[in-house]
Structures are given as structure tokens and as C-alpha cells.
Amino acid sequence: MIKYQELIRNLKAGKILPLYLFYGEEEFLIQEAVDLIIKKVVDPGASDFNFSTLYCRDTTVSDIVNIAQTLPFMSEKRLVIAKELEALKAADAGELVSYLASPSPSTCLVMVSNQRKYDKKSIISSVEAAGGAVTAFYQPYDSEVAAWISGWARSRGLSMQADAVQYIKQAIGNDLQKIHNELQKVEIYVEDRKEVSLADVRLVVGDFREYTSFDLVEAIGRKNGEKAFQILAKILREGEQPVSLLGMVAWNFRRLFKAKGMEAAGMEYGEIKKKMGIFAFQSAAFQEQMRRFTLDELRDAFNVMLSTDSALKSSGVDNKLLLDRMILKLCGGEQRA
């Protein structure tokens, strides 16, 4: 198994293998890898003769193998992309495995399945045994999105400010296709400028997420219990995990506790913001949250979150009810706008 990052590095370096098996739900990243292979393998002047995209649902394995075994015409290599690999019938797997055991050195065969987990072990092992690459493509974690955005910008010769990157991440989430579409709009907007600011992305990037975990954190931080209940119900329905949400709330309270400690020591907010790494578009909201809580309230909040964490992991009580109780305690029963 070759990780996505290593695969992309090798493709950009021109290291093309005779066999590839790509699977996973992140279609954008799969297409990125396929496009790189096309760029490296296919001669645009001879693409009609040496480049085929086939669908296993509509094409027999015999046809795929025959095309893969055909010598390229006026080119060093032939590229064959076989999509919907999951539709391949079990009875046909043996014929494909026979080809994979001795693939044509003048053909690059790329097999693609958009199943989250491709489980035909005979095909996976045959690709790897022949020196091919098997790569799984998963939707990136939230922690990986910012680096992906920054890397995309660098690949276009752009320098994107950190708060601009965070704004895009929070507005869109981890849907790379949507992020890519918005980044292209940003690239067009800045024209010949190389520096992309928060102001640029705020003007261009649409807000695709009604609520995020950051909205929940902010509502609790402002002691707006009514808003927090509303956001919690929405994002739980969208699949957010209760323990993960509790972790985000705890992360914000740790930031607030540290900031309030600095404030108690006589530090001005401008310096606190700098030391805490608070982004410009988050600054006003964070400062308001600092005003809402005393140090003693923040200390008590950690006990509330600790008991909620224990209950989420061990009790049979409904998770939403546990989080609702936590919100009520953290917000002190206040319903502020």
C-alpha cells in the first residue's frame, strides 16, 4: 500500500508504474492522481490511439486486457483507465489476475473503484506483487485541510495568509472539490497578485456550512445556550461525533483559561491575541468570550466537561441529552444573543 502523499510525489517526479489500483470515496483526490498520470504518460498528439477510459460495468475483462496488451502507436506508452472496478464479476477476476501477473511493460493500467474499501484481495495482491501501486483515497481529516489549502496555493505560486486559510476551512469543511472550486475563484479574483489575504477570500468564498463545531464552541463561549442547543441538534444530525464535539469545546475553554490567566497578569489583549495565535476574523468573538467568563467559572467548566466525557463513554444516557446538560451548566442558564 502506497500513501497518497508518496504516490503524488512519485508521479510528479515522473515515476510511472505499469499498474495502479486506486480506491476510496474521495473522488477529487483520485482524479488528481489520474490527471497527473495522464499528463506524464499521454502524448496529446497521439491520445486518440494510446489513451482509453473504460467502465467495468459495461466492458468485459477480455476487452480491457486486449486493449492493455496492444502496443502503443507512435508513442512509448499506452494508458488504460478502468473505472467502476467494483462492478467486476467474480468469475472475471481470474482473467484480470492473469494479466496483472505479467502486465505489458508498454502500458500503464489504472484501475479505479469508488468503494470506501475495495476488498478483492486477489487483485490487490497481484498489483503489489507485480510492483504496482495500491492507494486508498479517504476524505481528509479537519486537521489536514489547512495544509492542503496552503499546498494548493503554493503550487499556483500564491502565498495565502494563515487566517485566510482558516476562513476557507471553516466556511467549507473538508469537501476538497468545493474547496478547489472556491480556490479557483480566489485565484481569478487576485489576478496578478501573489499574496492572498483574508479580505480576498471573504469577498469570494461562499459559506457552504450552516453550522460547524466552531459555531457551537463560540455559542457556548458567549453563554448563548439557546443558540448552542440549536447548533448541537443540527450538527449531530449531520454526523458530528459527540466525543469530538466535547473535545472542541474543551479545546476552546483551555484557550480561554490561558488567555484569562495572561489578562490577570496584566497583559493587554493585543499581546494576548498575538501569543495565542488568534486569527483576525476570530478576534472579536474570542475577546467577547473572555469577558463572559471569570477564572473561577473556567475552572468549574473543566469539571463539568470531565464528568460529561465520562458519561459519554460509559453511561447509557442519550448522548445529545448529556451534551445538552453540559451546555446548560456551561452557559449558566443564560440565554444571551
Among 297, 325, 299, CA closest to 311: 325
Q: By the 8 A CB rule, do 213 and 245 touch?
A: yes
The pLDDT value recorded for residue 336 is 41
Q: What angle do CA 273, 278, 283 make, to 5 degrees?
A: 80
Measured distance CA(298)–CA(31) in Å, rounded: 47
The pLDDT value recorded for residue 337 is 40
The pairing of strands 159-160 and 195-196 is: parallel
Q: How many residues does the chain have?
A: 337
The pLDDT value recorded for residue 207 is 63
The pLDDT value recorded for residue 334 is 45
Alpha-carbon 249 to chain mean position: 21
The pLDDT value recorded for residue 193 is 94
Mean pLDDT by 10 residues, the chain (337 residues): 92 95 93 94 86 93 95 92 91 91 96 90 95 92 86 93 88 87 94 92 78 88 94 88 92 95 94 88 89 95 96 89 96 58
Cβ burial 175-186 (10 Å sphere, 16+ → b, else e): bbebbbebbeeb
The pLDDT value recorded for residue 332 is 86
The total of other beta-carbon atoms located within 10 Å of residue 112's CB is: 25
The pLDDT value recorded for residue 215 is 87
The pLDDT value recorded for residue 84 is 94
The pLDDT value recorded for residue 173 is 79
